[in-house]
Structure 1
């Protein structure tokens, strides 16, 4: 921190501790004529924008909360004046929230004034297009309702806050990790463990200034998995919380995390592993005055002692619970478990009357707890309905916005289309006006040249087609002559004329195959059926062999050497598995 701000902080704390009364009471020359109007908030304007609101809030908490309503509001008026004079809209918005906090803390309940100022903060942020602040104050009114158990109202504001945070971008919201944790805490408290885990995990993605809050978040995820009986994951998160607590040397959280680990082993009935953890939890809780946590650890120790028939230990633990003081010890859930254990203890010690008495108390309390659970289930259904209603509202709003955008786009498109049509008409008239003179001559010259090029291409193409037709017709004439019953010599002469045609290319080979097929129908198919491993090159070799072409001529036609032809024959022999005393010529002649 820069020295300047360190000194300013020191002055604030000195003032709060009452160490500067004389200095404050003496008249001091002031450079600013309006400094008196800010009162003790005058020091706030010295802080940078990034920490001004936090400093003002801390000063408010340590002073204004303790004042009478009229005096507190006067002081906050001074802070509002300061915010306006230095043009700090965010600070001005925060003052509304401080007013809401004042009435909430002092009335200790939901009240019209707190609600009014919470809404004022939200509206001010929205009017000044401060999306981040809008989300923050939507969140703060949600927590306000949550603290006083008005969860239906709280969920509505939580969903609106989340929507604002999303619009602003989570990374742009200061302390977003804290807000996600508080949302997770709300869902955990209302029994929506899936959403609780979702936002607790989301909280861990962002750096939280308070290390204890990070430990609490990790511990909460462990509690969720414990509730779902996923003990492996629960232990993993509890151990992570414990390691972080040890690193931070946070004794309270060391005790809590240790107890939670013990509770998992207890639920798994791994009592020998649970005992040391539960014992540490009990001792740490007593040390730091956490009587309810100590009592919960004792309940588990009592259950283990009864299970292991260590009744004296169970008696001692019961006596300790009776000596502890805490409002939470009167909660129905705790009393239900305590009465059940007392009934089991007296049953094991043979005191049947006392066992029956506590059994009746247990059953009566259990019915009360079931009724409470039913009411909580109804509350969860209401919250679920509120979430679905809000989500449907968002869907409807988006649909309306999309329809509005579509109408706007249609109108804009129509206007653009009209403009284009007018432009085209104008441009057409302009072009028509310019078609005289050189423009018209140039266009005619270009059209004439394109016509000449087209005629030349057509002529070349016609000549090419004519030449190809002559070659094809020559092949056809030769094949027709082969169909006439000539002598062997005459047929051979005709075939020789055919084979003088070059057949190396794929196109020529295809034509050759067609012509060859007319002389020797089915030759290629029979060859493939009998020798499925042969290739297209092998077929060419076999076809030329069938025509009794010598190796040199064959080489010329195939575009290879005579030696290449010999090697091709050898490969063919291997493919068709031909014995040494059988020639390729004889095999081919039989196809």
Structure 2
């Protein structure tokens, strides 16, 4: 056997044996039917794994759990399978082994893919305890550090077998001298124990023991009384005896010696009756030392011999062997047996040297734990600082991207506004052009009507002029007196009818409005045409007769014909 302290052995044997309560007897089919996930995991974690070192039977026994996990695609059940296989190989080999560590690594890899804070904490606690009970204390440090770090991030109600796992943590912290943290774990686990159960009694008693180690005797006494009440309620004689022994120590320190002796004797009686050899050994040795203080040497010898008969040849009992040798040496001196006193004193010193070596190793381990804790905390702090820096960098990048996005949005909006304004201006210009065109069209209609009216007026005037001329001829023969008036009217009408240069310019302006670029194009196409030719072309465009043209231009009809012939010749020459 490896060097294993008793209370470590008790706890690990309870968990690894798979015989914690009635759930152990459940089959995989029954486990599959459990709806509550935490209860289901607790049932799976308590499947039997002791097969007298037969690892084939172990694999066959746990194979249905793996099949169930694959069938249900349950990460938690697969993790339980890896944990129980690691436990099984640990029991089969009773030492550190590669198979157990391989299954621990498989469980770790599983949770990397499917993170679960509760399972990760339990995995670290179990692997840390696996190293711890086989005396690889330094190797256990990282696992307990990680488990303790995860404690604040888990929901304790989701942790299967929370009492046992928190007992793992408490045992380790008590070993390294951190009794306060050990008490915290046990107090958090206490609500999950059943009233008047051995588990609850054990937990309360352990809290009292840890408080006593920190010299918090008053609080320890309170917890011992609570434990005794639970033990009496459960009618558990074994625990009544154990707690009686612890209360006896407290009574002796207070000076209540008779009460202390009575309690220890009760402890011895119940421990012997229920075969609790280790507790009976400790109680007998304790009582022997008290009788030495009272100088009752025979009674002291009687109880020290009873204690010696119960000591086993195991590393855990080294401390008690040393105390036994010291006690026997004191008794021999009291009885006057000098030779036996020296012999026991020599044995005591030998055992003390051996134990001190181990205690020194323990102190070194405590120092290593402190160093590892500081290193772990620095790593965590560095990781957190890096995470904060990374977060800030991402926040800075995010702000920059938001600013860039905002600038782009502003630019786009500004561009849209410009386009909208441009479109608005364009629409306004188009409306202005349309309005201007409308005005021009209206003006053109007016001018065209005016030109038409002008043409009609010319034609009417031609008729009136002809009539007046005929009337002049008639009147000149019949009424010379009226001749003057008619002649005046005719001259006045002719004066209004004749197209002077001023009237031509006004006429040409209107004509160009109605027939834009007509005259300009004629002048460009036929460079030889004169201004008088342009008049003829304009009047021809209005479809006026030669007579009308002659009246307008104040020339004879024959002159108009000749002018038209000359114009025609110019045009033909230009075309040739």
State if a TM-score over 0.5 links the two structures.
Answer: yes
Structure 1 residue 397 corresponds to structure 2 residue 383: yes
What is the SS of the residue equivalent to 2:218? Answer: helix
| Unaligned segments of structure 1, at least 5 residues | 1-12, 18-39, 439-591
CA RMSD of aligned residues (A): 3.0
Alpha-carbon displacement from aligned partner over 1:510-567 (angstroms, at most 9, x marks no partner): xxxxxxxxxxxxxxxxxxxxxxxxxxxxxxxxxxxxxxxxxxxxxxxxxxxxxxxxxx
> What secondary structure is seen at the aligned counterpart in 2 of 1:149?
coil
Which has the higher mean CA deviation after the structures are superposed, 262-271 or 347-356? 262-271
Query: Which one is further off, 153-162 or 67-76?
Result: 67-76
Identify which of 23, 33, 50 aligns with 1:46.
33
The answer as to 2:222 corresponding to 1:236 is: yes
Change (3 A) 1:46 1:326: same
Structure 1 residues 172 and 42: CA distance shift in structure 2, 3 A? closer
Candidates 184, 192, 207, aligned match of 1:207: 192
Deviation at 1:112, TM superposition (A): 0.6
| Pairing of 1:262-301 with structure 2 (within 5 A) | 262-301=248-287
**Within 5 A, what are the aligned runs for 1:155-554?**
155-204=141-190, 206-209=191-194, 211-327=197-313, 331-430=317-416
Say if 1:355 and 1:169 are closer, same or farther in 2 by CA, change over 3 A. Answer: same
Counterparts of 1:386 and 1:150, CA distance in 2? 14
Cα distance, 1:93 vs. partner? 2.1
Residue 344 of structure 1 and its aligned partner are, at CA, apart by: 1.4
What CA distance in whole angstroms lies between the structure 2 residues aligned with 1:173 and 1:324?
39
State the match for 1:516 in structure 2: none
In the superposition, the TM-score normalised over structure 1's length comes to 0.62
Q: 2:454 corresponds to which residue?
A: none
Inter-CA distance 93–366: structure 2 relative to 1 (3 Å threshold) = closer
CA 44–303 in structure 1, closer or farther in 2 if over 3 Å, else same = closer
- Equivalent residues of 1:146, 1:154 under 8 A apart: yes
Matches of 2:24 and 2:372 in 1, distance apart? 47
Flag the 1:157–1:308 CA change in 2: closer, same or farther, 3 A.
same
Matches of 2:321 and 2:237, distance apart in 1: 28
Distance 1:286 1:180, change over 3 A: same
- Matching residue of 1:551: none
Alpha-carbon separation, structure 2, partners of 1:371 and 1:303 = 25
Bigger Rg over Cα: 2
Counterpart contact for 2:34–2:40, Cα < 8 Å: yes
* Alpha-carbon distance change, 228 to 167 in structure 1, aligned in 2, over 3 angstroms: closer
- The DSSP-based 3-state class of the residue aligned with 1:61 is coil
Aligned to 1:580: none
Spell out, residue by residue over 1:79-133, the C-alpha distance to the aligned partner (whole angstroms, 9 max, x if none): 3223212222221221111221221110011101101101211221231223322
SS at match of 1:234: helix
Alignment length, in residue pairs? 402
User: Do the aligned residues in 1 keep the contact of 2:70 with 2:78 (CA within 8 Å)?
Assistant: yes
1:468 counterpart residue number: none
CA distance in 1, matches of 2:163, 2:365: 27
> Are the structure 2 counterparts of residues 315 and 71 from structure 1 closer, same or farther at C-alpha, using a change threshold of 3 Å?
closer
Matches of 1:216 and 1:151, distance apart in 2: 24
Which stretches in structure 2 are left out of the alignment for 5+ residues? 1-21, 425-576
Moved more, 70-79 or 373-382: 70-79
CA-CA distance at 1:66 after TM superposition: 5.2
Query: Which digits, 9 at most, give the CA deviation of each residue in 1:367-412, with x for residues without a partner?
Result: 3322221111011111111221111111111111112212211111
The answer as to whether partners of 1:184 and 1:195 remain within 8 angstroms in 2 is yes
Q: Which sits farther off after the overlay, 259-268 or 210-219?
A: 210-219
Higher relative contact order (CA 8 A, sep 6+): 2
Who is 1:541 aligned against?
none
State the distance in 2 between where 1:341 and 1:309 align.
Answer: 12
SS of alignment partner, residue 275 of structure 2 = coil
Q: Choose the corresponding residue for 1:150, options 117, 136, 141.
A: 136
User: 1:85 maps to which residue?
Assistant: 71
The structural deviation recorded for 1:323 is 2.7
Deviation of the 1:177 alpha carbon: 4.1
SS at match of 1:331: helix
Q: Aligned in 2, Cα 1:435/1:413: closer, same or farther, shift over 3 Å?
A: same
* 1:61 match: 49
**TM-score normalised to structure 2 length:** 0.64
1:197-255 superposed Cα distances (whole Å, 9 cap, x missing partner): 33233333x42358323222222222123223332222122112111111122221111
> For residues 478-503 of structure 1, what are the alpha-carbon distances to aligned partners after superposition, in whole Å with 9 as ceiling and x for unaligned?
xxxxxxxxxxxxxxxxxxxxxxxxxx
Cα deviation for residue 330 of structure 1 reads 7.2
| TM-superposed deviation, 1:71 | 4.5
**What is aligned with 1:111?**
97
Asked if the contact 2:83/2:107 (under 8 Å) is kept, the reply is: yes
Structure 1 range deviating more: 131-140 or 164-173: 164-173
What CA deviation, in whole Å up to 9, does each residue of 1:434-460 have, x standing for no partner?
Answer: 78999xxxxxxxxxxxxxxxxxxxxxx
Of 134, 147, 151, the match for 2:120: 134
Moved more, 290-299 or 40-49: 40-49
Pairwise CA distance, 1:422: 1.7
